[in-house]
C-alpha cells in the first residue's frame, strides 16, 4: 500500500468515527415531549418511514481508489425527511361529549294533572237562594269533609242554572257527595241543598211513571231491579208520581224494570228547556229562582203578569204553551248542540227552492177539505181549466179601435 494513501485512509476513518459519535438528528428535529392532560386520550402516531442500516467494508482490491468505503462496520443512515414521532391530543366526539351544565339554576316544575273525573254530581238549593254568593272556600271544605281529601279541585258553580257541579272519578265518590244536604253560607248560617247523580260514562237516564208516591227514593232504589243494567240513582221529579232513574250499562236504556214483582217499562228521558216564570231567564224553574226581585216590565206591582206570555211579551199564547216561539228556538239550539256533539244531523239539508202555492185555476179562498180522493183533486183543476177555455172573448168598441 502506498504511504501517501495511508494517511488519507486514516483521515477517512477518523472522519467516519467522528460521524458515528455525532447525533443523527439535530436539536430542532428531536421530538418535543408533551405532558398528557388528565382525562384526555393520547394517540401515538407511527412514523411514515424507517431508518436503514447498511454495512460497508474497505475495498483494497481497487488500486488508486480515492474514496474508500467507511471503516466502520455498522453505519446508520437516516431516512430522507423522516418526520418525528408526535403525541397528538384526540378531539372528543360531539355525540359522546357530556352536555354543558344549564346556565340557570331554576328547574321548571309542572303540576301533576288531575285524574280523569267523568262522573258528575249536581248540587242545587231547595229554596230561592243564589249559589254564586256562597264562598268558594266553604264549598271546598264541604267536599273535603265528604271525600276525606284536602284542597279538592274539580267543582264548577253555574250562574244560569243556579247549581254546583262536582266532577268525580269513581262511583264511591259519587255516593259520598250525594249525601251532601246543606252547605254553610256564613259562620252561623247554612242553606239546604239537594245532591243527585247527573251523568257519567255509559250512564243513561230514563223515566218511570205511576209509582207509589208513599215510597221514598231510597226504598225504590233498593227494590228496583234491571236484568241488563245497574241502577245507580232514583230521584222524584217534583211532587208527581214520576221518577227519574239513572242506570249504567249499554248505550241504551233497559227494556224493563222489576219493582216488587211488577214489570215496568221505562221511557227515555229527554230534558226540556227550562224557563223561569219569575225572572224569565233560561236554565232554572220558578221555585229555584235566585233573584229576589221581579221584572217590572213583565209583572205588575200586584204580582200579576202583564202579558199572557212574558217570554215573548205577547198575549197570543200562554206562557206554559209548547208552541211558544221562544221555547221552540231554545229547544232547537239545544238539539243542534246535542247533534253536533254526537255528529248526528237533525235537520234536512235539502230545502225547497220555491214555496208551493195554489194554482191559478183554483180558488185560493176555498178551504182544503180532508178525506178527498186523489181523483177528485185531479178532476177539479181540469174542469176549471176547461171552463176557462170555453169562455168566448167579447169584442167591444175599444177593442176594435185597438185592432
Could you report the per-residue pLDDT of 330-347, keeping only the tens digit for each?
Answer: 888 777 765 554 444 444
Cα end-to-end distance, the chain, whole Å: 167
Is pLDDT at 175 greater than 70 in this prediction? yes
Amino acid 195: pLDDT: 92
The owner of cell 430542532 is 28
Work out the number of other CB atoms within 10 angstroms of the CB of residue 52: 9
The bridge status of strand 182-184 relative to strand 52-54 is: unpaired
Half-sphere exposure of 200 (CA within 13 A, CB side): 25
Question: Are residues 324 and 330 in contact, defined by beta-carbon separation less than 8 angstroms?
Answer: no
pLDDT recorded at residue 393: 55
| pLDDT, position 212 | 85
Q: Among 52-66, 105-119, 201-215, which is the least confidently predicted range?
A: 52-66
pLDDT tens digit string along 246-274? 998 888 899 999 998 899 999 998 877 77
Q: What confidence score (pLDDT) does residue 210 get?
A: 86
Q: What does pTM read for this prediction?
A: 0.49
* CA dihedral sign of residues 330, 336, 339, 341: negative
List, edge to edge, every strand of the sheet that includes 203-208: 230-236, 243-248, 203-208, 267-268
Q: How far apart are CA 230 and CA 248, in angstroms?
A: 5
pLDDT at 264: 92
Sequence spans of domains, the chain? 1-24+47-81, 115-200, 202-271, 286-342
Cα separation, 288 vs 158, in Å, equals: 13
Least reliable range by pLDDT among 38-52, 87-101, 111-125, 217-231: 38-52
> Of the ranges 109-123, 201-215, 251-265, which one carries the lowest mean pLDDT score?
109-123
Mean pLDDT, range 283-310, rounded to an integer: 76
Q: DSSP alpha helices (H): ranges in 178-237? A: 217-223
CB 76 within 8 A of CB 22: no
On whether the CB atoms of residues 232 and 203 are closer than 8 A, the answer is yes
Residue 274's closest CA among 341, 195, 331? 331
Report the length, in residues, of the chain. 403
pLDDT given at position 81: 53
Count of helix runs (H) and strand runs (E) in the chain: 7, 16
Q: What is the pLDDT of residue 391?
A: 53
pLDDT value for 12: 47
Specify whether the CB–CB gap between 244 and 261 falls below 8 A. no
The closest of 374, 373, 274, 385 to 324, measured between CA atoms, is 274
Give tens-digit pLDDT for 238-247. Answer: 788 899 999 9
Span 86-101, average pLDDT:
52
Q: What is the distance between the alpha carbons of residues 173 and 154, in angstroms, rounded to a whole number?
A: 12
| Of 175 and 322, the one with more pLDDT | 175
Q: Tens digits of per-residue pLDDT, 355-380?
A: 444 433 344 344 444 455 555 555 55
Which grid coordinates belong to 86? 408526535
Q: What are phi and psi of 258, to 5 degrees?
A: -120, 120
| Nearest C-alpha neighbor of 123 from the set 151, 75, 162, 91 | 162
pLDDT at 219 over 60: yes
What pLDDT does residue 290 have? Answer: 76
Residues linked to residue 257 through DSSP beta bridges, in sequence order:
264
CATH architecture of structural domain 115-200: 2-Layer Sandwich (3.30)
Amino acid at each position: 500500500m502506498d504511504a501517501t494513501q495511508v494517511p488519507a485512509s486514516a483521515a477517512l476513518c477518523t472522519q467516519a468515527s467522528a460521524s458515528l459519535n455525532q447525533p443523527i438528528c439535530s436539536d430542532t428535529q428531536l421530538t418535543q415531549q408533551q405532558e398528557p392532560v388528565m382525562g384526555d386520550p393520547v394517540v401515538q402516531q407511527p412514523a411514515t418511514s424507517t431508518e436503514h442500516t447498511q454495512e460497508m467494508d474497505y475495498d483494497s482490491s481497487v488500486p488508486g481508489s480515492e474514496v474508500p468505503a467507511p471503516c466502520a462496520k455498522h453505519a446508520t443512515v437516516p431516512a430522507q425527511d423522516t418526520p418525528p414521532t408526535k403525541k397528538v391530543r384526540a378531539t372528543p366526539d360531539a355525540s359522546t361529549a357530556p352536555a354543558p351544565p344549564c346556565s340557570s339554576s331554576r328547574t321548571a316544575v309542572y303540576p301533576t294533572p288531575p285524574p280523569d273525573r267523568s262522573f258528575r254530581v249536581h248540587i242545587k238549593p231547595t229554596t230561592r237562594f243564589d249559589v254564586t254568593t256562597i264562598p268558594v272556600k266553604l264549598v271546598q271544605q264541604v267536599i273535603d269533609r265528604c271525600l276525606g281529601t284536602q284542597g279538592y279541585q274539580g267543582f264548577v258553580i253555574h250562574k244560569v242554572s243556579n247549581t254546583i257541579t262536582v266532577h268525580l272519578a269513581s262511583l264511591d265518590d259519587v255516593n259520598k257527595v250525594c249525601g251532601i244536604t246543606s252547605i254553610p253560607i256564613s259562620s252561623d248560617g247554612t242553606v239546604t241543598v239537594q245532591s243527585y247523580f247527573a251523568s257519567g260514562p255509559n250512564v243513561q237516564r230514563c223515566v218511570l211513571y205511576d209509582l207509589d208516591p208513599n215510597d221514598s227514593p231510597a226504598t225504590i232504589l233498593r227494590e228496583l231491579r234491571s236484568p241488563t243494567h245497574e241502577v245507580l240513582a232514583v230521584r222524584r221529579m217534583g211532587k208527581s208520581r214520576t221518577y227519574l232513574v239513572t242506570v249504567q250499562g249499554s248505550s241504551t236504556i233497559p227494556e224493563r224494570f222489576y219493582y216488587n214483582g211488577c214489570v215496568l217499562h221505562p221511557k227515555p228521558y229527554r230534558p226540556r228547556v227550562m224557563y223561569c216564570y219569575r225572572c224569565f231567564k233560561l236554565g232554572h224553574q220558578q221555585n229555584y229562582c235566585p233573584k229576589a226581585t221581579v221584572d217590572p216590565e213583565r209583572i205588575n206591582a200586584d204580582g200579576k203578569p202583564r202579558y199572557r206570555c212574558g217570554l215573548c211579551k205577547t198575549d197570543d199564547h200562554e206562557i206554559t204553551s209548547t208552541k211558544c216561539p221562544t221555547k221552540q228556538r231554545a229547544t232547537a239550539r239545544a238539539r243542534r248542540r246535542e247533534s253536533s256533539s254526537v255528529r248526528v244531523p237533525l235537520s234536512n239539508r235539502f230545502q225547497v227552492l220555491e214555496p208551493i202555492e195554489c194554482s191559478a185555476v183554483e180558488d185560493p179562498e176555498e178551504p182544503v177539505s180532508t178525506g178527498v180522493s186523489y181523483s177528485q183533486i185531479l178532476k177539479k183543476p181540469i174542469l176549471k181549466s176547461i171552463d176557462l177555455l170555453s169562455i168566448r172573448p167579447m169584442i167591444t168598441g175599444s177593442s176594435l179601435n185597438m185592432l
